Amino acid sequence: MTDPLVLVCGADDGFAKPLAVTLYSALSNYCGTDDVRVHVIDGGISAANRARVDRIVKTFGTAVEWMSPDLTLVRQLTVSERFPASIYLRLLVPSLLPTAFDKAIYLDSDVVVDDDIGALWKESIGDKSLLAVQDSGAPTFGSPWGLAHYREFGLRASTRYFNSGVLVFNLRRWREQRLAERVLRFVAAHGDQIRFFEQDAMNAVLWSDWRALDSRWNQLVSPWEIHERRELQRGILHFVSTSKPWNPQGAHWTNFIYDQYLKRSGWYSSLQWLSYYLPLVLRRQQVLHLRRTVQATRARETAAAAAHAH
pLDDT at 75: 63
Query: For the whole model, what pTM was predicted?
Result: 0.92
Percent of the chain with pLDDT over 90: 72
Query: CA distances (Å), 109 to each of 10, 216, 298, in order?
Result: 7, 17, 35
Percent of the chain with pLDDT over 70: 92
Q: CA torsion sign, 32 to 34 to 35 to 39?
A: negative
Pick from 94-108, 157-171, 193-207, 219-233: least confident: 219-233
pLDDT at 77: 65
The Cα angle at residue 276 between residues 116 and 246, in degrees rounded to 5: 50
Contacts of 47 (CB under 8 A, 6+ apart): none
Q: How far is 298 from 295, CA to CA, in rounded Å?
A: 5
pLDDT at 84: 61
pLDDT, mean of residues 14-19: 95
pLDDT, mean of residues 253-268: 96
Q: Over the stretch 38-56, which tens digit does the pLDDT of each residue have? A: 999 998 899 999 999 999 9
Residue 87 pLDDT > 70: yes
pLDDT, mean of residues 267-277: 96
Nearest alpha-carbon partner for 165 in 233, 106, 96: 106
Q: Over the stretch 164-217, which tens digit does the pLDDT of each residue have? A: 999 999 999 999 999 999 998 898 888 788 888 889 999 999 999 999 999 999
pLDDT at 230: 65
- The answer to whether 112 and 22 are in contact (CB under 8 A) is yes
